[in-house]
Structure 1
Amino acid sequence: MRVIFLLLFFITCTMAQSFLEDELRNAWQDKDINSLQLFLANEVRIFLSESGGNYSRSKAQTVLQEYFEQVEIVAFQYNKRKIKKGVIVANYAYRKNKQTFRTLLYFFTSYNVWNKVNLITSIREIPQDSKKIEKQTSKDDIGKSKEQLIDKYDDPQVMKSDMWEYTQTLSMGCHNVLYITKYTFKDNKVIKVDEQEISPGCEAEAGIW
């Protein structure tokens, strides 16, 4: 009986995961970013108020923007790597239940999303004068082991060779900047880091937005 229950549970989770991924893709295709931000801003306001503060919607929006500037999950743009299940669930939750912000906080902390820059995407509504998002510092990785890089970037591909390439896209107001970081290992430790920055500029991306 227990085996049957576990099997059914596994099948249910697998189907739910596929459904969540479809919903995530649909949300990105619909570019339903504004409604997501507004909904979560209200959730932030409720969360902060229940924590003992009395925050307005604008204050909540400011708090939310700070989170978005660090993680930039809200745009739903897929990276080449697989997006974490927890982030998919957290993103999807905003449409389905009123515990959204708590869900987001839970996954941010339990999956340590703050340090997983490969999840970063672009937020199209970032004001021109807002502070720029700082890219993940890679020079500090020199001397670190492959295991430490896996903890930082959550990519098991690190272990497969003595060369590893990592990309991240950061929003810089009117355009995105692509950073390519190439790591060289010796004895499973980082001995060299090469960085390349590709910026198309505002005019080049104007047609995309």
Structure 2
Amino acid sequence: MTERKTVIDLASFQSHLTVNDYKNIGANYAIVKTTESTNYVNPYIRSLIDRSAGGGIKGYAFYHFGRFHNDAQAVAEANYFIANSKAQANVQPGTLMILDAEISNMPTSSVNVFLNTLRNAGYHTGFYTYKYLLPNFDLESIHHHMDMFWLAAYVYRNGTPAGKNPDFNYFPSANYIDMWQHTDNLLGYNVDGSITLTDNAINLFNPSEAPAPEPNK
């Protein structure tokens, strides 16, 4: 049976969390928001990483909130994501970099272009969306361009706190799911909580054969 790990995602909304809060949450991994569109960089990246690491987080990935509607914008946003992840968190090739796709009219072709731009730079790629938005995308096409699929479908809504082990009677039926985001209020800390479903997800937080970074020119 695949071992399951708890994953939290961290943005500016979680900047108030302390080292002790992270210890109490007891998650294994964290996914940190780096950027949005081409005009926003999360100002709390460094403190989110430092505090969560002090609270026991063992592995990290990073995500970008996509705002693009065509291929050119997708390339621009992917490069913005890469550049600021390097600058703010020294993110190295081999790291899992995730597209958060939850706006309307985002073409599947542009999603693939975004993910390929990350891959061509040496990163592992992830795709995140909500279950109710899946019909807007061609998942079979995206599958060839992503290394990990992360799907949100909340068991409890309206801010109701949830534990680490979700009720799998509510599991969203879709192909290729590596990680399920099942709550937006894990243990009452107002942090999104996910659970890994595959060894692939766990391995991507602990890359054993990450490509070596290019030497400085």
TM band (smaller chain): under 0.3
Q: Which has the higher helix share?
A: 1
Q: Which has the higher strand share?
A: 2
Relative contact order, higher structure (CA 8 A, sep 6+):
2
Q: Structure 2 length normalisation: TM-score? A: 0.23
Larger radius of gyration: 1
